[in-house]
Structures are given as structure tokens and as C-alpha cells.
Structure 1
Amino acid sequence: MHDTSTTAIRSDRLSALRTQMLAEAEITSVQNQSLIQSRREQICEAALSLFLEKGFAATTIRDICARSGVNQASIYDYIANKNDILRRLLNQLWFREDVSTLPIILLDENLSLEDAFEKYFRESWSMKRDGTLLAYRCVPHMQAEDRRALHAREFAVMKDLADQLAPRLGMHSDDQRLDIVANLMVFLSAFGPMRDWLIRDIPDEVILRTISAGAAAMVRSLADQAQT
């Protein structure tokens, strides 16, 4: 029997981690908020394209200034450094609030596993593509405190997903295999952005349905193993 009280306690414990963002620098040298917003958008847009083209380590502030059109003498009025730009981009693209996490989607008990995974992968692959590529490529270059914050938030998503899968499969919430499969399901959200360049001749819907069906079958196999 699934212990709902344990799930509630764990959910409360992880609530702070779910909304944790990377700490952006507070810069007050410019008071015009609309100008700050406009310049930061220019800087972040230019930096994103450069980070994905050249890599984070190879991109310089000079490169970002040239691409964005923001003068090198004034860029630090809007951002602290290259790591600050990365934090802002990840907060916007990787932690974006308009893309549902898989645990949230699974709250709808009317959705089958296949339908839930399909909705999750569709949104992640289309709306978080740049954020996914940026996150996976730039983690090695992140500062220690940023990696800890990223780890904490991803850990919370994994645990939330394991908690959602447990009652659907009739498994105990402390079964460690749920954490393993939950972690893998989140990783599959990166499949489209990171691997679809090899299968561009296959229609997107075929890829989506195939991965979703395979993921659902794998998850259900846990319940079958538990019963044997």
C-alpha cells in the first residue's frame, strides 16, 4: 500500500528546492529599468547563440559585446560577468515556468503513461531545446554554488517524479528503482535536442510516439518485476 502521508512529508521537504533559482547578480549602477531589461535581453540573446556555437569557455565578453552591440565599457552596468549571464539564461530557459514538469503532468490521473510522457517530451523538446543544450554543455563550467543549486532542483524533480510513479505502479515509495527510472525519464527529455540530428529524416511525431511508448513500457516493467 502506498503511504500518502510519507509522500506529503517528502513533498513539503522538497518544496523549497523546486523553486530554487540560480542567484543573479544585483547591479544598481543604472536606474532605468526598461533600459536594463532591454540591454540584458540583447546581451543574453547574443551570449546564448555564442555559448551554443563556440562553447561557454571559448566565448569572451568581447565576443558577446560584438554580437550584442552593447559597448564593452558599459556591459558591466547590466551583468556582472560571464557566469552571471549563464545563470540568467538557465533561469529563463531551463527553469522556465511555462513548461510543465513530468510530476505535474502525472497529477492528471486520466492521462495514461504514454500520453503523459508524450506531452512532457513534446513540450520539453520544442520549448526547452536551447535551455537543454545550454545546461548539459555548460555544467562543467558552472561555479560550485551554481552546480549545487542545479543539483538540488533536479534532485527535487526526480524525487517528485518517483513519488508520482509509485502509486501508479503499486510500488512502495522507498523503492530505489523508482529514483533510477525517474532520473532516466528526465534525461530522456534531452533526447530530442541532443540526438535528433541523427534522425532528421524521421517525422517528429513518429520519434515522439516511439520514445513515449518505450518509456512507458520500461516504467511498467518495474511493477511486473515487483510482482514476480
Structure 2
Amino acid sequence: MVKNSEKLQVETSVKDEQLIEIRRQQIVDAAIGLFKEKGFHRATTREIAKAAGFSIGTLYEYIRIKEDVLYLVCDNIYHEVTQRLSSFPAHSGTVDELKEAIKQYFSLIHSMNDAFTIMYQETKSLPKEAMQYVLNKEMEMVAIFEQILKSCVISGEITLSERELFLAANHLVVQGQSWAFRKWALHKQFTIDEYIEYQTNMFLFGVLRM
């Protein structure tokens, strides 16, 4: 099981934690639109500040460098995924629970399509420490699905080895995210509900022992 990554601290001169959370969400929302339109490197901090609705001076009260903004975008994704999948704490070990977890995860990616696309396109621009944090958070998402799958193995509903569990969990994470980074092809052929149904069925045909 992957241990929880220690959250990186983005420096701020503001002491009000609630205000920090509000302002940084505004920064993230503004940055996603700009990064989608112009790309990370072409978008400027001044443009991010303007899109967020405050001055460049105010922006720098909540971040140090533009890469901090990209990190906040990525971290927001992992926070939302964790929150969404935390609704499966009991791990009952049923295929129905697994199917619901897949649905919740894929639906979240659909609702955060631009953010996931930016993460895949621009993560390489993060500093080394932030990059490692993002990679660790990816593995935490894998571990969530790995645990759900393991519960299904324990209950006898599926049969997988430890290595197969790890590969199957990675498969689910990647196939969910492909809805974002291959949207140029997939969105022309499928609705999100169809994509969830077809991907879930194909996945289960691979892991269920008939």
C-alpha cells in the first residue's frame, strides 16, 4: 500500500487559512482556463491574476512562482479524486461496489476534463520536488483501486494475483484519465455514460473468472 504523500507547502504571506483556500481556488479556476487556451508557458502570472479577479500583487501573496499555480491545479485534482472515492470506506468486496467506484472516478474526470488534460500536458514543467509529489499522488489513486479490487479477491468475486491487482488498478486509473487526454477521439464517438459502461464491461470481462 502506498503511503500518503506529504503535501507540499506553497509559501504565502497570508495567515487566514480560509482566505487562502478561497483565493487559491480562484487561482486554480482561472489558471485552468488560461492553460487550456494558451498553454502553461505562454500564460503569464499577470494574466492569471486578472482572470482570477485580483492584482498581480495579490496573486503573489498566495504563490511564489508560476509553477506553484500548476502544482495547485494538480493537487486540486488529487484532492477531488480522494474525496470522491472516500465514499467507499467499507470495501464490501462486491463487484457492484467496484462498478460504482469506477463510475464515480470516470464521472469526476468528465467534470474536470480540462484540469486532467492540463495535468498530463504540463506536469513536466513542475520542479523536481513537486513532480515527485504528483507521481506519488498518482500511485495513491492506484492504491485506492487496488484496495477495492483486493476486497473483491478476498470475498471471492474475482481472482487476481498481487501483480495482477496492481496492473488492474493502474489500468482503471489510466482508462479513466484517457477520457481527458484522448478526448479529441473519444468524445466524438461516445457519451460519458457510454464510455463508463463499455470500459467497465471490458475491464470486468478481463478480471472476472467465468
Normalising by the smaller structure, the TM-score range is: 0.7 to 0.9
Deviates more, 1:143-152 or 1:117-126: 117-126
| Distance in 2 of aligned mates of 1:31 and 1:89 | 21
| Distance in 2 of aligned mates of 1:25 and 1:219 | 41
* Residues 78, 137 of structure 2: 8 Å contact kept: no
Which residue, out of 210, 213, 216, partners 2:201? Answer: 213
The Cα RMSD (Å) is 3.1
Deviates more, 1:180-189 or 1:197-206: 197-206
Query: What does 1:120-159 correspond to in 2, within 5 Å?
Result: 120-159=104-143
In structure 1, the residue corresponding to 2:204 is in which secondary structure? Answer: helix
Cα shift readout 1:154-180 (whole Å, capped 9, x = no counterpart):
22333453454352433332xx23322
* Residues 22, 87 of structure 1: 8 Å contact kept: no
* Residues 61, 82 of structure 1: 8 Å contact kept: yes
Q: Which runs of no fewer than 5 residues in structure 1 stay unpaired?
A: 1-10
- Between structure 1 and structure 2, the one with the greater Rg is 1
CA spacing shift, 1:101–1:128, aligned 2, 3 Å: farther
| Distance in 1 of aligned mates of 2:69 and 2:172 | 29
Q: Which runs of no fewer than 5 residues in structure 2 stay unpaired?
A: none
Q: 1:66, CA displacement in angstroms? A: 3.1
Aligned length: 203
| Distance in 2 of aligned mates of 1:170 and 1:193 | 30
Q: 1:23, CA displacement in angstroms? A: 1.2
| Distance in 2 of aligned mates of 1:38 and 1:160 | 28
Which residue, out of 20, 42, 45, partners 2:26? Answer: 42
Q: 1:105, CA displacement in angstroms? A: 7.6
Task: Name the counterpart of 1:3.
Answer: none
Task: Name the counterpart of 1:195.
Answer: 182
Which residue, out of 86, 89, 99, partners 2:84? Answer: 99
CA spacing shift, 1:211–1:114, aligned 2, 3 Å: farther
Report the identity percentage.
19
Amino acid at match of 2:206: M
RCO comparison, higher one (Cα < 8 Å, 6+): 1
In structure 1, the residue corresponding to 2:188 is in which secondary structure? Answer: coil
Which residue, out of 73, 78, 82, partners 2:66? Answer: 82
Task: Name the counterpart of 1:6.
Answer: none
Query: What does 1:167-182 correspond to in 2, within 5 Å?
Result: 167=153, 168-173=157-162, 176-182=163-169
TM-score (normalizing by structure 2): 0.77
Cα shift readout 1:190-213 (whole Å, capped 9, x = no counterpart):
122233443435443222211111
| Distance in 1 of aligned mates of 2:19 and 2:140 | 36
